[in-house]
Structure 1
Amino acid sequence: MTAARSIVVERPGTFRLAAAGAPPEPGPGEVRVAVHAAGVCASDREVYDGTRADGYVRYPVVPGHEWSGTVAAAGPGVDPALVGRKCVGEGFRACQTCERCRSGETSLCTAGYEETGFTRPGAFADHLVLPARLLHLLDDDANLTAAALLEPAAVVAAAVLRAAPRPGERVAVVGAGTLGLLAVQFLAASTPAELLAVDPRDRPRRQALDLGAGRAADPAEAKELHGRYDLVVETAGAPGTARDSCLLARRGGRVVLTGMPEPGAHGIDPVHLSVSQLTIASVFGAPPSAWAYATHAFNHGLLRPAALITHQLPLESFGEAVRLVGSGDPEVGKVLLKP
C-alpha cells in the first residue's frame, strides 16, 4: 500500500513532508476521505508564519481546511453507502450540545475552538479523517477541483444569509479576492439593481465584472459613491475596508464584515454608525446552514468557483504555495495543493 503523506508544520516557519505506513483508519462515526484538492489561503500562511491569534492553532499541525475529495472508508456506525461519494466537509468540530450549537450557531460553540487544519489534522495530506456528520455530499459529476473552494464559499454564504439581500437593492462588495468574487456570484443571483465590486487590483476587478458585477472601482473611485448602497459585504480584511464599507452604505443600510483584519486596523467611526443608523453584522466561519446553501448553489451551477483558481501544485510544493499566497502578486488567485 502507498504511504500516506501529509504536510506537518512543526512550529512557525518549519514544515516537513511526513509519510505514514498506511492511511489512517476512521473511528466510530468517522469517515476517511481521499483528498482530491485543498485550497491554500491567508489563514494557512498565518499558521506557517506563526501570526495566527493565540488559541486558534495548535502545533504541530497538518494544515488544510479548504478541501474536496471522495469518501474512501467508513468507520463503525457510519452508512457504508457513503463510500465512493464525492464530498466536502465543515471544519468546525463543535460540541453539538451547548446553547449556541443547539441554536445552529456552531461557529460560536462555547466548548472551545476546534477546527480541521488548525487544531485537528487537515487536508494538506493524501487522506483526511473527520466525523461523517460534517460531510456535505456533491453530485456524482461534480468538478472536485472547483469544489475545493466550497469552504470559503460557505463563509460567504453565511454572510449573504445574514445580509438577506432583496431584489432591486444597490449592493457593493469590498474586496475582490476569493471571498469577494464568490460573494459577487451569490449576490448577482439576488437580482440587485446595482452590484459594485471594489478592489485596488486590475485583474480582480475585471474578473468581478465577468462573474456578475455591473461595475468595478478602485478604492479612490469608490469614495465618490459613499452613502449609496443598501447593502455592503466586506471581504478583504485590509486595514481600512471595514471603515470604508460603512461609508459606502446609505443611511439605514446594512454592512456585513467577513474579512479578518490584523490588529491595528482602522476603527469604525461610532458617530457615523449612530447617526447613519447602520446595521452591522460579522461572520467567522460558517454554520451548517451556510454549508448547505453553498453546496446547493454549487450542485445547481449557480456558483462557479473554478474561474478563481490560478495555481495547482503537488502536495510536496507546499512551500511554493505558501510563498505565492503571501506574495501580493495581483495575478495570483486561488492556489490549490493536489495530492
Structure 2
Amino acid sequence: MTGLAVGGAEVGGLEVGGLDEGSRAVVVDRPGSHRLVRRDVPAPGPGEVLVRVAAAGICMSDRELYDGRRDAGYVRYPVTPGHEWSGTVAAVGEGVDPALVGRRTVAEGFRACGRCERCRCGETSLCTAGYAETGFTEPGAFADHLTVPAQLLHPLDDAADLRAAALLEPAAVVAAAVRAGGPRPGERVAVVGAGTLGLLAVQLLAAYRPAELAVVDPRAARGEQALAFGASAALAPDEEGAVAGRFDLVVETAGAPTTAASSCLLARRGGRVVLTGMFTPGARGIDPVHLSLSQLELRSVFGAPSSAWSDAVRAFGLGLLDPAPLITHEFPLERFGEAVALVGEGDPATGKVLLRP
C-alpha cells in the first residue's frame, strides 16, 4: 500500500502536500497485525470530500476489530479503522459545493443508501442495502486523510474544538438512545454504566431537567465524574436493589453481561428501558415474566440515524454537551499499538483514547 505522494498536485482544487509528505494510515491486515503505511493522498470521487483528520477516538469496537472479536459480517480486512473522528474538509469531488473546503466537520459512519424504505423513513441506521461503515468495511480515520460521501457531513462551527468533536460519534449513539427513551422533564432517570456513552448520556439527559438522574457504575471515580456532569446520585451495582422499580427511564450503556437484565429491574412498572451497550454472547437474558408483568417498553440502539447526529451536533454547538473532559490519553499514529492496548483493559483512569495524526 506504500505509494508515491501527491507531490504538490491539486485534488479538487486544493494543493494537498509535497512529494515527501503523502498521507499515512494505520492498516490492520488481520487480527493482531497492523502497520503504518505511507500512501498517496486519497482523491475524493464524485459526491465525496477529502478530510484532513484532526483527531480520532478508539473505542471497544476498534479493540474488538483488532483482536478479531468483531462479528465477521461487520468488518472487512485489511482495513484502516477509525469511526469516531473530526477534521477539516481539504478538498471536494465533482458535484460537491466548494464552499465546504476549510469547514470543520464530523460525518456519519453508516454508508446508508438513502433509497430503501428504512432510509426513506429516516431510519438510516437500519438501511437494508447492506452494512457498510467507515472504519469497519470502508477506510477510516486512523490516518492523515480520509474520503467520505459529502451527504454524510455535519459541519461544525468555525471555532469548534476538534479534539472534543472526535467524540460526536458516540454522542450521536447516545442521542439516538435519548430519542428512543423520550425523556420528559421531572422524570426519574437512571443511566447504567459510566464509560464514554454513560457520561455523555448524563450530559444530554441533564438538559431535560429530570427530578432524579442516578448513575450506576462500580468505579467510584466515574461516579464522581457523573455527578460533576449533572447526575444527582452515583450508585454501585450492589446498591441497585434499594432503587429497583423506581425509574421512569433507564438508559443502559455498559454492555456488561448482567446490565440488560438489571436495567429492566430498575425501571418502574410501565417504564422505559433503552439498551445501548454492545453485548457479547453469554450475556444474561431479560426475564420475560418480569418484562410482561411490568409492561416495560424496551428499545435497543445500534449506531445512530441522521436525526440523532443532528441532535448531538446541535447540543455540542450549544454547549449542552462537552466531551473534552472524557479524554485522558492522546497518541500519534505511530503509537497505535500502544493506544489500542489501553482500551478495554479496565483501568478506571483510562477514559477516551485519541489518535492525533
2:61 corresponds to 1:31: no
* Distance (whole Å) between structure 1 residues aligned to residue 211 and residue 87 of structure 2: 38
Larger radius of gyration between Structure 1 and Structure 2: 2
* Distance (whole Å) between structure 2 residues aligned to residue 7 and residue 222 of structure 1: 42
* Distance (whole Å) between structure 2 residues aligned to residue 107 and residue 295 of structure 1: 17
2:5 corresponds to 1:5: no
Runs of 4+ in 1 over 6 A off after TM superposition: none
How far off is 1:326 after superposition?
2.6
SS in structure 1 of the partner of residue 72 of structure 2: coil
TM alignment of 1:302-317, pairs within 5 A = 302-317=320-335
Alignment-derived partner of residue 14 in structure 1: 33
Alignment-derived partner of residue 285 in structure 1: 303
SS in structure 2 of the partner of residue 230 of structure 1: strand
Aligned residues: 338
2:250 corresponds to 1:232: yes
Residue 188 (structure 2) aligned to one of 159, 166, 170: 170
How far off is 1:301 after superposition?
0.5
Alignment-derived partner of residue 197 in structure 1: 215
Residue 240 (structure 2) aligned to one of 222, 225, 230: 222
* Distance (whole Å) between structure 1 residues aligned to residue 85 and residue 133 of structure 2: 13
Residue 87 (structure 1) aligned to one of 101, 105, 111: 105
Residue 147 (structure 1) aligned to one of 156, 165, 174: 165
Tell me which moved more, 218-227 or 246-255: 218-227
* Distance (whole Å) between structure 1 residues aligned to residue 227 and residue 68 of structure 2: 36
The amino acid of 1:289's aligned partner reads: S
The Cα offsets for residues 113-136 of structure 1, whole Å up to 9 and x where unpaired, read as 000000000000000100000000
TM alignment of 1:107-118, pairs within 5 A = 107-118=125-136
* Distance (whole Å) between structure 2 residues aligned to residue 223 and residue 304 of structure 1: 32
The Cα offsets for residues 296-339 of structure 1, whole Å up to 9 and x where unpaired, read as 00011010100100001111111111110032101100000000
Alignment-derived partner of residue 198 in structure 2: 180
SS in structure 1 of the partner of residue 264 of structure 2: helix
Alignment-derived partner of residue 12 in structure 2: none
Alignment-derived partner of residue 96 in structure 2: 78
CA RMSD of aligned residues (A): 0.6
* Distance (whole Å) between structure 1 residues aligned to residue 330 and residue 351 of structure 2: 11
* Distance (whole Å) between structure 1 residues aligned to residue 274 and residue 345 of structure 2: 27
2:262 corresponds to 1:244: yes
Identical-residue share of aligned pairs (%): 72
* Distance (whole Å) between structure 2 residues aligned to residue 123 and residue 310 of structure 1: 19
* Distance (whole Å) between structure 2 residues aligned to residue 23 and residue 223 of structure 1: 56
How far off is 1:224 after superposition?
1.2
SS in structure 2 of the partner of residue 55 of structure 1: helix
* Distance (whole Å) between structure 2 residues aligned to residue 316 and residue 223 of structure 1: 47
List alignment gaps of at least 5 residues for structure 2. 1-17
SS in structure 1 of the partner of residue 349 of structure 2: coil
The Cα offsets for residues 243-274 of structure 1, whole Å up to 9 and x where unpaired, read as 01000000000000000110000000000000
Residue 74 (structure 2) aligned to one of 49, 56, 59: 56
What TM-score does the superposition give when structure 2 sets the normalisation length?
0.94
How far off is 1:149 after superposition?
0.2
Alignment-derived partner of residue 285 in structure 2: 267
What TM-score does the superposition give when structure 1 sets the normalisation length?
0.99
How far off is 1:96 after superposition?
1.0
SS in structure 2 of the partner of residue 336 of structure 1: strand
How far off is 1:54 after superposition?
2.0
Alignment-derived partner of residue 142 in structure 2: 124
* Distance (whole Å) between structure 1 residues aligned to residue 197 and residue 85 of structure 2: 15
Alignment-derived partner of residue 356 in structure 2: 338
How far off is 1:10 after superposition?
0.1
* Distance (whole Å) between structure 2 residues aligned to residue 60 and residue 11 of structure 1: 6
